[in-house]
């Protein structure tokens, strides 16, 4: 008798709105997919006062940064430089004249340094961030002020998600940041009965995800949402036929 394949459960650990959107996008590609959402972080928006400077541009390295900017209710520059296309789309929807670096911090720094602006510029960011963007820009001659406008506070796995790791069902987990991998490694049970399939957004995220002892791991071709969606869809099909 031929062995029947066992489709994995997709475990999404980003904040609920992003996880729900990702699940909808994946189901649009693959049809019915078992999904469990258990956020490992919850966004807390902050209300810092803006420095008393006239900024030439604002920088966003996440969609959450755009949402945080809208909550400040303080005047901001019209020009926005954004790390990726989805962040740029969110900035345009919020009324900014946004340019995208299409995916990662070094490319964003290069975009800004090549734009011919003298600064100062304002980076609205979360408490935890990858790469020293302000340092790169300041070293390149553009005065950059970095302002924390939100934090992503850790959450425990839900009881259902904890049970999933003991179920024996294969689990497919997209990892969108090194911090997400670290939080997941801290949250999962010590003994895991399920086979873990990991899709990491970057080499840095993949390095942290090694602590999860995955049976399979791949890295998205480019560190953005569209390439993550493609990589997760391909991994799902591979896991389902394994």
pLDDT in tens, 82-128: 999 999 999 999 999 999 998 788 999 999 999 999 889 999 999 98
SS3 103: coil
Q: With 90 as the cut, is the pLDDT of residue 190 above it?
A: no
Mapped onto helix, strand or coil, the DSSP state of residue 230 is: helix
Domain ranges of the chain: 56-130+142-151
pLDDT digits (tens, 9 = 90+) for 19-39: 999 999 999 999 999 999 999
| Entry pTM | 0.86
Q: Give the pLDDT score at 5.
A: 54
Instruction: Identify the burial level of 158 via C-beta atoms within 10 angstroms of its C-beta, where 0-12 means exposed, 13-18 middle and 19 or more buried.
Output: middle
Contact 178, 129 (CB under 8 A): no
- Residues forming a β-bridge with 79: 97
How does 123-139 read in b/e, with b if 16+ C-beta sit within 10 Å?
bbbbeebbeebbebbbe
Residue 217: per-residue pLDDT:
97
CATH architecture for residues 56-130+142-151: 3-Layer(aba) Sandwich (3.40)
Neighbours of 232 (CB within 10 A): 25
Q: Please state, rounded to an integer, the average pLDDT across all residues of the chain.
A: 92
Provide the token pair at 176. 């969108």
At residue 208, does pLDDT exceed 60? yes
């Amino acid at each position: 008798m031929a062995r029947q394949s066992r489709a994995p459960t997709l475990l999404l650990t980003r904040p609920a709105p992003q996880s729900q959107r990702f699940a909808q996008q994946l189901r649009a590609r693959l049809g019915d997919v078992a999904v469990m959402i258990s956020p490992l972080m919850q966004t807390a928006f902050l209300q810092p006062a803006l420095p008393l400077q006239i900024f030439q541009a604002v920088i966003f390295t996440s969609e959450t940064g755009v949402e945080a900017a809208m909550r400040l209710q303080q005047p901001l520059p019209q020009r926005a430089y954004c790390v990726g296309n989805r962040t740029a789309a969110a900035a345009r929807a919020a009324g900014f004249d946004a340019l995208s670096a299409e995916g990662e911090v070094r490319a964003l720094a290069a975009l800004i340094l090549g734009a011919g602006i003298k600064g100062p510029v304002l980076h609205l960011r979360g408490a935890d961030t990858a790469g020293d963007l302000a340092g790169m820009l300041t070293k390149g001659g553009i005065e950059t002020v970095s302002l924390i406008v939100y934090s992503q506070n850790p959450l425990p796995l839900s009881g259902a998600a904890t049970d999933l790791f003991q179920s024996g069902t294969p689990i497919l987990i997209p990892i969108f940041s090194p911090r997400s991998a670290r939080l997941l490694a801290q949250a999962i049970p010590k003994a895991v009965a399920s086979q873990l399939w990991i899709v990491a957004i970057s080499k840095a995220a993949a390095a942290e995800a090694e602590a999860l002892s995955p049976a399979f791991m791949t890295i998205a071709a480019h560190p953005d949402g569209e390439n993550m969606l493609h990589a997760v869809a391909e991994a799902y099909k591979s896991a389902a036929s394994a």
